[in-house]
Amino acid sequence: MSGLTADLRVHRGEHVVEARLDAPAGVSALLGPNGSGKTTLLLALAGLLHAERAVVEVAGRTWAGDGVDLPPARRSVGLVLADPVLFGHLSLLDNVAFGPRSRGMPRRAARARAREELDRVGLGELLRRRPAQVSSGQAQRVALARALATDPDVLLLDEPLSALDSQTRSRTRADLATRLRAYPGVTLMTTHDPLDALTLADRLLFLEEGRVTQTGTPAEVVARPRTAYVASLVGLNLLTGTLVDQEGWAVELLSDGGRPGGRLVLAEAPEGASVGEQVWASVNPAAVALFSQRPQTSARNLWLLQVESVTVTGQRARVHLTGDVDLVAEVTLGAVAALDVQRGRELWAAVKATEIHAYPA
């Protein structure tokens, strides 16, 4: 089948979501901070929220627009929420059969379809159990099976793994990836977790303050993030400023408030950018070297910055620094101890020009 295209404007409380989407067959992850409108967008696509403006086409069929506004029951949609919302008095088999039964399929055929879907998510041996007799991860797989048992053109997953603990989440993510690879329709999945997005999705869409700010494959987004949120989610520093050529290529940086900031020396001219134009520059936190004293280094970018915060993940720490340039450095826990890293501490930060990736804004 072909994909989904949509142009929506939705008011929900004080928030307005105004977004254009183009999601091909396969899995597209919709990422954004809290309050950005991800769930609102999914509910509007399903027809469960009234849209002030709605143009939605799926596989060449108009769901909304040009005088058409199909009710939810007539939109070929499967919806899975963070809460599986299973019927406690029904077996897993009858929970999954509920979808096709509600669309008019005879009981025996609906049960056969449900059994097939439970087998595909690895729960065929548990079909007689009730929801209270299975784990949270298994319940989420049942919800997925129920959504897919209706053979929808579009599958909408709203934070499907967010309610699971880390161990269950990892197992369920693997099961979900296997099942989604075999689904021929369009999957649109909201998530806050970049690991979910990067491991499950073919395409990423970023929603910030109700607007789509960037789309692309995971590789394209990691190579060229276009907002600070996108960069932080994929683990990169993102700086912006004006390209200059003064005894070598550099970026005159702007601070968050638009004031002049520091300077970023580049190894070469960014492809496709001209002097005086705005450019983005991304820096991997692992490429930021920290020193307690001014170092003798070949790195052409060197600043005295102040530690704002430190976050620890496993055996690595991310040190958030502020000053002429705001940076995050990723170092070992041993380096944190050796440098006496703590809030308010001044450290020298060095970045080699060859470690900076600059591109047109």
In tens, the pLDDT along 89-128 reads: 999 999 999 989 988 899 999 999 999 999 988 899 999 9
* Residue 326 burial (CB count, 10 A): 19
Answer yes or no: is pLDDT of 78 > 60.
Answer: yes
**Dihedral sign from CA coordinates of 190, 194, 200, 202:** positive
Helix (H) or strand (E) holding 113: helix 107-120
> In which band, very low, low, confident or very high, does the pLDDT at 71 lie, cut at 50, 70 and 90?
very high
Average pLDDT over residues 248-267: 79
Q: Could you tell me where in the chain the CATH 2.40.50.100 domains are found?
A: 235-360
Average pLDDT over residues 64-77: 92
User: Which token pair is 282?
Assistant: 């991304």
* pLDDT number for residue 256: 59
* CA 216 – CA 3 distance, rounded (Å): 15
User: Which token pair is 252?
Assistant: 């005159």
pLDDT tens digits, 39-69: 999 999 999 999 999 999 998 899 999 889 9
Confirm if 84 and 131 have CB atoms less than 8 A apart: yes
Answer yes or no: is pLDDT of 199 > 90.
Answer: no
* CA 240 – CA 238 distance, rounded (Å): 7
The answer to whether domain 4-225 has CATH 3.40.50.300 is yes
Confirm if 39 and 79 have CB atoms less than 8 A apart: no
pLDDT tens digits, 1-47: 579 999 999 988 888 999 999 999 999 999 999 889 999 999 999 99
**Dihedral sign from CA coordinates of 136, 139, 145, 150:** negative
pTM of the model: 0.85
Answer yes or no: is pLDDT of 134 > 60.
Answer: yes
* pLDDT number for residue 128: 95
User: Which token pair is 17?
Assistant: 């979501």
Average pLDDT score over the chain = 91
Percent pLDDT > 70 in the chain is 98
List residues bridging with 19 in a β-sheet: 8
pLDDT tens digits, 268-301: 999 888 999 999 999 999 999 999 999 998 899 9
Answer yes or no: is pLDDT of 210 > 70.
Answer: yes
User: Which token pair is 79?
Assistant: 């919806």
**What phi and psi values does residue 4 have, to the nearest 5 degrees?**
-110, 135
pLDDT tens digits, 156-193: 999 988 878 877 888 888 888 888 999 999 999 999 88
Confirm if 139 and 86 have CB atoms less than 8 A apart: yes
User: Which token pair is 29?
Assistant: 């992850």
> In which band, very low, low, confident or very high, does the pLDDT at 247 lie, cut at 50, 70 and 90?
confident
* pLDDT number for residue 255: 62
* Residue 78 burial (CB count, 10 A): 24
Helix (H) or strand (E) holding 230: helix 228-233
* pLDDT number for residue 17: 93
Answer yes or no: is pLDDT of 258 > 60.
Answer: no
The long-range contacts involving 21-24, CB below 8 angstroms and separated by at least 24 positions, are 21/188, 21/205, 21/212, 22/215, 23/186, 23/188, 23/203, 23/205, 24/186, 24/202, 24/203
> In which band, very low, low, confident or very high, does the pLDDT at 88 lie, cut at 50, 70 and 90?
very high
* Residue 330 burial (CB count, 10 A): 18
* pLDDT number for residue 112: 96
pLDDT tens digits, 136-164: 889 999 999 999 999 999 999 999 888 78
* CA 244 – CA 59 distance, rounded (Å): 47
Q: Could you tell me where in the chain the CATH 3.40.50.300 domains are found?
A: 4-225
The amino acid occupying position 229 is Y
> In which band, very low, low, confident or very high, does the pLDDT at 208 lie, cut at 50, 70 and 90?
very high
* pLDDT number for residue 195: 85
Fold of 235-360: OB fold (Dihydrolipoamide Acetyltransferase, E2P) (2.40.50)
What is the SS3 assignment for 127?
Answer: coil
* pLDDT number for residue 212: 94
> In which band, very low, low, confident or very high, does the pLDDT at 201 lie, cut at 50, 70 and 90?
very high
